[in-house]
Amino acid sequence: MNDLPIDKDEILKELDLIKEKDLKYSGGRILGSMCTEAHPFGKEVYIKFLDSNLGDPGLFKGTKSIEDKTIKIIGKLLNLDNAYGNIVTGGTEANIMAIRAARNHARKYKNIENGEIILPRSAHFSFKKAADMMNLKIVEAELDENYKINVESVKNKISPNTVAIVAIAGTTELGLIDPIEEISKIAHDNNIYFHVDAAFGGFSIPFLRNCGYDFPEFDFKLPGVSSITVDPHKMGLAPIPAGGIIFREKEYLNVMAVDSPYLTVKTQSTVVGTRIGASTVATYALLKYFGRSGYSKLAKNLMENTCFLKDSLEKIGYDVIVEPELNIVAFNHPEKNPQLMADELEKINGWKVSVANCPNAIRIVLMNHVTKTHLKEFLSDLKKLY
């Protein structure tokens, strides 16, 4: 550390130089990210609430009331009239809270000590962190031939130690929606906690439905669904970090509560103590600013780009792995290895694609910063590589 203060301009000069090493979303080269540039109005609001700490809500009653309202709005969007939950740092923390709620609930009401969670192979790795932290065993449910959770496999994996079943609405690698309705029924019939990870899909499925897309039920309309992860910092265009966890019942927060005696509020259920209020307020502001129609337009545009990419890839001879349900396209060259292709794409024009594991394929996430012009450039490079 320097002894004497350094001039602000000098520091800023250094930081500007360092920032040049970061990619910008606007460059259109980031093709494998579920995050995107936050909406300018979200950034404006974020700065205003930079010092608000949701970890001590009695000091920031205004910001806390906005968190409560945001949870109610997102709950309504997911067909729940009286939602409970929090805006947290992201899908990882949201999933950790869901699994903690399920584990503690099962411990309290069913005396389960060595719990198990049933997950599809396609589940995000955040569940591995959750299971590790909470000493739970992961029981992997198989996928069907369309890369969705196999319902029969879930049924067969239930044991007296099952504390939760998880299904995904918008899988990380392929953007697919699991058969949530069938799993909800199984969970309901067996009185097991059912968590839906809609970190990616939660901010688009309801809006695409508005535009006439025919999606099966995936939310609290299904009586078996206990909680849903839905991330404003993915399809909601909110500044990071903004994840969302919505619970059907307050008891799920209660079973996680620990005493926080010297704070303005006497118990705390979140994983994190000092908590950012800025991104919560930015989420609230953007929900109002876009409204249903704004988010519907956004989701529809992204699906149009998705279809354009899929059709164009097939025209030039690439194999598209599955018919996209949300704005992710996974594809392969009939002969080339996907990782080698990804390396080549980066070398020739700086494309940052990601490579899916199951199945092994190039995966493109069509977020707001990826325009038709970028896609045309990308396709022209893919043509050269074919």
For ligand 0PR, which stretch binds (CB under 6 A), given 29-37, 41-49, 220-228, 298-306? 29-37
**Which among 17-25, 31-39, 263-271, 323-331 is the span making contact with ligand 0PR, rule CB under 6 A?**
31-39
Report the run of H or E that residue 332 belongs to, with start and end. strand 328-332
- Does residue 219 belong to the site contacting ligand 0PR (CB under 6 A)? no
Q: How far is the CB of 172 from ligand 0PR (least distance, A)?
A: 3
Give the nearest distance from C-beta 175 to ligand 0PR in angstroms: 9
90 binds ligand 0PR (CB under 6 A): yes
Find, among 177, 214, 216, 175, the residue nearest to 302 by Cα.
Answer: 175
The CA distance from 368 to 71, in Å, is: 24
Cβ neighbourhood burial of 135 (10 Å; 0-12, 13-18, 19+): exposed
Supply the DSSP string of 178-228, one letter for each residue. --HHHHHHHHHHTT-EEEEE-TTGGGTHHHHHHTT------STTSTT--EE
Least CB distance to ligand 0PR at residue 231 (A): 5
Q: Smaller CB distance to ligand 0PR: residue 66 or 367?
A: 367
Selected range binding ligand 0PR among 68-76, 86-94, 153-161, 330-338, rule: CB under 6 A: 86-94
Question: Among 63, 70, 86, 92, which residue interacts with ligand 0PR (rule: CB under 6 A)?
Answer: 92
Q: Which of 321, 337, 327 is nearest to 364 (CA)?
A: 327
Residue 158, token pair as written in the block:
């239930």
Q: Does 34 bind ligand 0PR (CB under 6 A)?
A: yes
Which residue in 63, 150, 172, 269 binds ligand 0PR (CB under 6 A)? 172
Does position 231 interact with ligand 0PR (CB under 6 A)? The reply is yes
Q: Which residues contact 200 (CB under 8 A, 6 or more apart)?
A: 34, 91, 169, 170, 171, 172, 175, 231, 234, 235, 326
Closer Cβ to ligand 0PR, 56 or 197, answer by number: 197
Q: Which residues bind ligand 0PR (CB under 6 A)?
A: 33-35, 90-92, 95, 124, 126, 168, 172, 197, 199-200, 231, 243
